[in-house]
Structure 1
Amino acid sequence: MQMYLLAVNPTDSVTEGFLPAARRLGLTVTVLTDQPAAHRAAAPDAYEGVEVLECQVHDFRAVVARISAHRRPDAVFSNSDHLQVQTALAAGYFGLPAKDWRAALRTKDKAEMRRRLAASGLPADTAVRAAEVPAGHDPGSALDGQGIGYPCVVKPREGVASEDVVLVGDRAELVARCAQIRSRRPDAALVVEEFLPGGLRTLETLGDGAARRVLGGFRTRLSPPPYFIEERLTWDPDRSGPVVDQVLAQLDALGVGFGACHTEFVVDRGRARLVEVNYRAIGDQCDLLLADLLGVPLFELILRVHLGEPLPPDPWPAPSGRAACLAYPYAREGGTLTAAPDPEDLDLDGVRLAYRPLRAVGSHRPLHHTNRDLLGVVRGIGADQETVDHAVDAFVASRKWEITA
């Protein structure tokens, strides 16, 4: 069976998750990407036997043309934030299982997501006040009459990975921050929305179009304001209850139900309010930990629904007596990474630890104040949370990451 996988840059989710899963399923894989050289150079073992073709993957018409002129597809799939609409349209064109392209658009476009939820008839206290600021428009006046006070959050309308997401305290700071973002993204529309107090959590789901399973989620610790770098994610096995029901109702309003979805939300006084919906599997190696923790072939299950197979009945019993977290050492200054740990797998006090670098020694980068500043990831799984947290903290404290300006 022929699967086309749409991608921009190589990711661990693809090289360590989906490509090995496709091989285990016996699929013939063709990667369509606008960065073919990067994919051919990445993880040679993962790409062995994988065809990589250049394609303007941001244009669904180019994707359809490339596939139509090649081999008949049995599945068209992507785990990229940037390519869900294009993938849905291309899969739909060939009559294959696909996400609703309208739902993919609503989740990618943060302003449209807010408008859709506001008009959904869901309880008003779950709505988030937001204003769209088109390119070239005054951000200060965009808030007039919107009921958005300070502090508030400004972000690109179609951004990812906390890039250019910043908390602002007053109108002057809002105007200044928007000017900074526009210096890097002159044509990008922005969204300004109320700041949501409370704890940040995630919900991970997988659906086949008829049934949807809640896998669990994570509790996220962020860097100090005004930025939103993910420092740590702690496994949260909760799969039911009022908060989960509220999140699922909002996903239903957006039309989300097919394939993997990673939803970020804030809980405050029992209210679940969405921060963003990423209509793909969680990344930054959380998906690798999730598959290990649940003890199920997660990546194969995701690919199988795109091949038209139904989810098996309750394939992932909630893991009992297991705890997990991921920690992300990250850069506090720009410069060259001159020292960092090598990849490592070890057992510490009964906790299985895996460390993987996310940035190569010798690489030079400016400070982004986003997840692009992550240097590596430590994954830990053990019997209880206190022991896991202690083992992960001990590992980070005993290793050294050096950046030279």
Structure 2
Amino acid sequence: MKHLVFVDSSVLGLRAMEYAKERGDAVTLLWSPHYDFMHSPASRERARAVADRAIEVEDLRDPRAALRALCAEGIDPDGIDGVLATLHMLAEPAARLAELVGARGPSPKAIAAARDKAACRRTLDEHGLPNLRFAEVTEAGAALAAAADIGYPVVVKPVFGVGKNVTTFAHSAQDIELHFAQTQARLAELEHGFTVELDDRYVVEEVAVGPLYSVEVATDGTTYTALTSVRRKVGLDNPVLELGSTVPCGLPPAAERALGDYAVDVCRALGLDLGLFHVEVIGTADGFRLVEVNPRIAGGTVPEVIRAATGRSLFEVLVDLYEGEPLSPEPFPVVTAASHTFLAAAEDCVVRADLPADWFEAFRPRLHSGSSSIGPGSRLLGMEGNTTTYGVVRVVAEDTARAEAACTELREEIADRLGFPMVPVAPALPVAPALPAASTHPAAPALPEARS
């Protein structure tokens, strides 16, 4: 039996806690009301019920405060085997707490390097890995100069944190000026748990053109495995908006291996040495280019589409790693194609008042799984990020093309039923013609100094 400490959780992250209990582990949950927005009331209560001990900590970003809370409850730090987090904003505090108590956890320096988008790109350059042109800025003037040097369009996004709601796809100087003019207002709309980790730094980077993928990379510190590759759906007019996912990713086998190798190389270069890491990559005409590394398990609905396609759970792999189990070098086998898409309004709207309350049930027979929070007369915000989606539909089929086609058909029918337009999804782009050959490294390279 192991003793695992979870530094808060998400709704899906509960599955990791439940699996740990099924394995016979002792589970301690450190939680803060600052992250209640990641839960429904029922899931927050469920998290406390699953844990053997649930301890409230006001500031989970302070590992010493977390340690004091553990000791106050009579927990011997020497008896803790692993400390883990499933939330992006708590990945680094969890790693630092693990280091503080001598428990299993990833390198805090590596987590910091991955979370800092500018430091991450500098690391890729230092290791000679294919990269995008970028600049780190703090104000509009420097951003305008960087964009002029890189060439429009560019993406402007926060250096730290989950910044989808303060990210701009800029086609012109006016877009950049508007980004900085509206920053404070956009930040004011976010939860404290998001904004507390943001600072005044932004990355301006070139726009990589091609299909978007994500790769779930697992490592036990010795073996690195690209467990699965996912094709991501994005907005037609705004590619920053993520609208769904598909497994398998649609690449030929050799190209998918090259994609996985590139994601592994990125994780090795950063020094990420324990856990599951969500790596987002675009397949350009010149090869694969990193979008960003999220140094934690995939969030949102990605674990669900992977489970639907493979029958395997990312959360179980995560717990096994923190228990000290060796990692298999084999990727997840795909047993069927799975695709999902979000229900997201193209603009602010009000749902028709005569909509039956149980309207979604008519679509369930055609779904693998899904849900909706849309009811008659609901006021919906036009999609600006991951927090303005109102449901998901997920299907399985014989292959990627059929799964995506079925998903698209369902979404269009739902839009007609609700009486408002959904955010248009960009069509699947063709496979980039020039893909890099697979590469391997015998050991992770030395990690450069990272700003934390």
Normalising by structure 1, we get a TM-score of 0.85
**1:94-105 to 2 correspondence within 5 Å?**
94-105=101-112
Letter in 2 for 1:334: D
Higher normalized contact order (CA 8 Å, seq sep 6+, divided by chain length): 2
Letter in 1 for 2:18: P
Correspondence for 2:27 among 21, 26, 29: 29
Q: Which runs of 5 or more structure 1 residues have no equivalent in the other structure?
A: none
Letter in 1 for 2:389: L
Correspondence for 1:63 among 58, 63, 66: 66
Correspondence for 2:385 among 353, 370, 383: 370
What percentage of residue pairs aligned between the two structures are identical? 25
Q: Which runs of 5 or more structure 2 residues have no equivalent in the other structure?
A: 189-198, 421-452
What secondary structure, in the 3-state scheme, does the structure 2 residue paired with 1:42 have? Answer: helix
Structure-2 separation of matches of 1:82 and 1:336: 33
Structure-2 separation of matches of 1:324 and 1:242: 22
Per-residue Cα deviation, 1:26-46 (whole angstroms, up to 9, x for no partner): 233332222179358233456
Query: Are residue 327 (structure 1) and residue 328 (structure 2) matched?
Result: no
Query: Are residue 261 (structure 1) and residue 277 (structure 2) matched?
Result: yes
Would the alpha carbon gap of residues 292 and 344 (structure 1) be closer, same or farther in structure 2, given more than 3 Å must change?
farther
Query: Are residue 157 (structure 1) and residue 159 (structure 2) matched?
Result: yes
**1:238-387 to 2 correspondence within 5 Å?**
238=253, 240-312=256-328, 314=330, 318-320=333-335, 322-334=336-348, 346-348=364-366, 353-357=368-372, 366-367=381-382, 369-387=384-402
Q: Which residue of 2 aligns with 1:170?
A: 172
Preserved contact between residue 348 and residue 382 of structure 2 (Cα < 8 Å): yes
Per-residue Cα deviation, 1:312-349 (whole angstroms, up to 9, x for no partner): 464x55224x211111111223366776755799553x
Letter in 2 for 1:178: F
What secondary structure, in the 3-state scheme, does the structure 2 residue paired with 1:13 have? Answer: coil
Preserved contact between residue 358 and residue 374 of structure 1 (Cα < 8 Å): no
Letter in 2 for 1:138: G
Per-residue Cα deviation, 1:142-192 (whole angstroms, up to 9, x for no partner): 528x83111111111113262222211222321221221244449532111
Structure-2 separation of matches of 1:67 and 1:336: 47
Would the alpha carbon gap of residues 391 and 309 (structure 1) be closer, same or farther in structure 2, given more than 3 Å must change?
same
Preserved contact between residue 3 and residue 75 of structure 1 (Cα < 8 Å): yes
How far does residue 356 in structure 1 lie from its aligned partner after superposition?
2.2
What secondary structure, in the 3-state scheme, does the structure 2 residue paired with 1:79 have? Answer: coil
Structure-2 separation of matches of 1:390 and 1:149: 35
Letter in 1 for 2:63: F
Normalising by structure 2, we get a TM-score of 0.77
Per-residue Cα deviation, 1:38-66 (whole angstroms, up to 9, x for no partner): 35823345643434322111222222222
Would the alpha carbon gap of residues 147 and 385 (structure 1) be closer, same or farther in structure 2, given more than 3 Å must change?
same
Preserved contact between residue 343 and residue 357 of structure 1 (Cα < 8 Å): no
Preserved contact between residue 40 and residue 52 of structure 1 (Cα < 8 Å): no
How far does residue 127 in structure 1 lie from its aligned partner after superposition?
1.9
Greater Cα shift, 79-88 or 371-380: 371-380
How far does residue 132 in structure 1 lie from its aligned partner after superposition?
1.2
From the two aligned structures, give the one with the greater strand fraction. Answer: 1
Q: Which residue of 1 aligns with 2:134?
A: 130
RMSD across aligned C-alpha pairs, in angstroms?
A: 3.0
Structure-2 separation of matches of 1:402 and 1:45: 36
Q: Which residue of 1 aligns with 2:17?
A: 19
Would the alpha carbon gap of residues 278 and 175 (structure 1) be closer, same or farther in structure 2, given more than 3 Å must change?
same
